[in-house]
Chains A and B, each alone.
Chain A
Amino acid sequence: MAESEPSRRGFLARVVIALNALIAIIVATPAVGYLLSPLLRQRSSQWVVIGKATKFVAGVPQRVVYEYDDEGGYSVERTRSVAFVGRTPGDLIVLSPVCTHMGCNVAFDDTAGLFECPCHGGKYDTSGRVVEGPPPEPLRRFQSRIRDGNLEIQLT
């Protein structure tokens, strides 16, 4: 009995470690699933009216404040947001005001004819291309369409 004690101890030590590992896995499985829940949620997209299509004329990009329903799982909130609408020959483009560098909101500088970011001096031209500064990518373009005379953009 005395000789077998050390090996018994070793065996029991393994059993204890295995059992506790099992306990940890049982608790961790739902916990990890729960934490990853936002990734598994279905993304929904919606078309939002941002104004009458005829309102947008050629010239400088127009700043538009629009409202949409932000669905936050258990609550729906009416939220305000901003977009820039520019008219190029033959097409309307709707740009997101979010600078692709660090996410500040850009403003349009009439004299320079450029979008300027107040944070780190990034500059974009009227079609959203980077002309100066640190932004790695052009301004994001919303999918847009005209329905019943209204300009709509797709939010995802």
Chain B
Amino acid sequence: MSKERDATTNIAAEKASIRPWLRLPRVMSEFFDEPMPKGVGWPHVFGSTLLALIALQVVTGVLLSLNYSASTSTAWESVRYIQDRVVFGGIVRGMHHWAASASIIVAALHLGRVFLFAAYRSPRRWTWVVGVLLLFVLLGFGLTGYLLPWDLKAYFGTKVATEIPGSLPVIGPYLLQIVRGGMAVGPFTLTRFYSAHVIVLPALLALLLIVHLYLVRKHGITAPWTRTGEAGRSERSFFPFQALKDSVAIFVALMVVLVVAALIGAPLEAKADPTNSTYVPRPDWYFLGLQHLLRIFQGKWQILGTAFIPGVAAVLLLAWPWLDRNNERRVRSRPVALTLGAVCAAMVLGMTIAGYAAVRDEERRMADLRVVPSSSAQQPEESAPISSADLVRDGERLYVAMKCDSCHGPEREESLPGLPPDLGYAGSKLREGWMRTYLLEPHPIRYRSDGVRPMLRMPDYRLSDVEAGALAAFLTTRTDVARFAPVVAEQGSSPDQIAEGRRLFSNYQCLGCHVLESEGSRIGPDLTHVGARLTVGYLDMFLREPEAVIPGTSMKNFGLWEEERAALVAFLQSRE
């Protein structure tokens, strides 16, 4: 006790020596000057880090809600608007998406740390209980937030997740309707989940968080490696010693979230389509283990996976401080508890990995993915020549398997310009060689409105030469002869025609919107290698009626004469 007083006087003396502006205001200093027992350090940063991540979720969540519209006809559109049009929208959404995953990881680490340090014993039992409830609330946020973008992933993931309460005996069907707001996942499910995500759960989170923090502060940090009831020697105050470690951890977590948000961003698949029958439902990664239980227990055993096992696990987790009656906190003196903990952690991890593998398998099977033998993909020169019909068929399977249509198909939303191109008539528009090169190495052709950031959402799928060739071969067969006249002028053009085209190109000030050899502006696509990219038929049709080809395009209809068009097309074709 006297040692503790010494420590407190030390802290007071230290504080007196600090410049006044570095001293915390009284209210804050009472909160931050909490004495830390000896041994508290880096393992104790997870609680603060989680708190910071939750704060980040509040900030980014409020920002997203400013533009989000919770209706099945506009939810997906508004999310895409945020993603593509709002300044920093992609980053804010990416941060919200990845900080959610980070919160679950950090919460697990925090729980693991408390378990390892046996910091849940009396008088901190209720701190543990409230903490576990907070974890459940976080999972609730994940579950409800998953639906909000209203893309395929959201729709089918939620459809499966809501089947779980529906599988309960007797009350199941009623529960299902209450959760979904009807028989099917639809507009009422979306508004329900939205309400839960932005009103109910935040209120619950705030309440539990206040109680949790109050209890943490009231009972202090558990002195590491002591017996229950033993007070550890207090050494230093929280501020600035532990605060520095916490801040470093928060900084690292934030940077990880920011970098992943900037590099990968949050995914947005095609808009929810209840008629899609090939989509493999996939919940967010932290529910993969639970979903896997449903695969293991089927038929009359299903209830084991849907209710019994998760229910028992939740109750055990909540009741753990009362079940563990050991007074020791040292690792060596707790073989049973720690073994049990390790086994449980390994099971959760194992189920998650197994669930992930199962989803991957299902996706492969569903799509009959990678029909091109990988051996021939690696050594194209040794493989037997593939007939063009086979190549086209392989390309078609790949096209379906890789869900190219979710961005390039006829169902994609056409209201916004700058969209991925419709590939329904790819063969009439794009040259096969160019498609092959582009698929192997996607590169920007268009730029965003600032003219600096490339508009490139096409991922690099790391296709093999054979796969890219198969896809290009398939796409070449998709033509629209009625709209894009068969390429009559393909035989070549005279130098005079090209020169005339060059003159027209300058006369019509095409460089006002297009780039040619790094000159011009980036409002429209870069035309530097346009000859290698686009067919004569497409160029001719597009110059004639831009609106008819790409509704909403910013390309003007210049009302060109036929000879003018021919000259311009000849000139553009010469840019290879």
Listed in ascending order, the chain A residues whose CB lies under 8 Å from chain B are 5-7, 9-10, 12-17, 19-20, 22-23, 26-27, 29-31, 33-37, 40-42, 73-76
Contact = CB atoms under 8 A, between A and B. Distances in A.
Contact of B59 (A17, A19, A27, A40): A27
Nearest to B11: A9
B390 to A, nearest CB: 43
Contact of A10 (B17, B92, B241): B17
Contacts, number: 95
25 contacts: A6-B14, A9-B240, A10-B19, A10-B22, A12-B240, A12-B241, A16-B243, A16-B247, A23-B251, A26-B254, A26-B255, A30-B92, A31-B92, A34-B63, A35-B63, A35-B66, A36-B87, A37-B86, A37-B88, A42-B449, A73-B67, A73-B81, A74-B416, A75-B69, A75-B77
B81 A74 contact: yes
Given A9-B240, A13-B239, A31-B59, 18 more contacts: A10-B18, A10-B19, A12-B240, A13-B18, A14-B22, A16-B240, A16-B243, A16-B247, A19-B247, A23-B52, A26-B258, A27-B56, A27-B59, A27-B254, A30-B95, A31-B63, A34-B88, A37-B86
A23 B530 CA distance: 45
B244 A12 contact: yes
B14 A16 contact: no
Contacts of B19: 10
Interface of B: 13-15, 17-19, 22, 52, 56, 59-60, 63, 66-67, 69, 74, 77-78, 80-81, 85-89, 91-92, 95, 239-241, 243-244, 247-248, 250-251, 254-255, 258, 415-416, 449
A16 B24 CA distance: 12
Contacts of A7: 17
B63 A23 contact: no
Interface of A, helix, strand, loop or mixed by DSSP: helix
Contacts of A73: 67, 78, 81, 85
Nearest to B62: A31
A7 B17 CA distance: 8
Contact of B254 (A23, A31, A41, A75): A23
A12 B242 CA distance: 10
Nearest to A12: B240
A30 B265 CA distance: 14
B250 A40 contact: no
Contacts of A74: 69, 74, 77-78, 80-81, 85, 415-416
A1 to B, nearest CB: 13
Contacts of B243: 16
Contacts of A37: 86-89
Contacts of A33: 87-88
Contacts of A17: 22
Contacts of A76: 415
Contacts of B80: 74
A9 B14 contact: yes
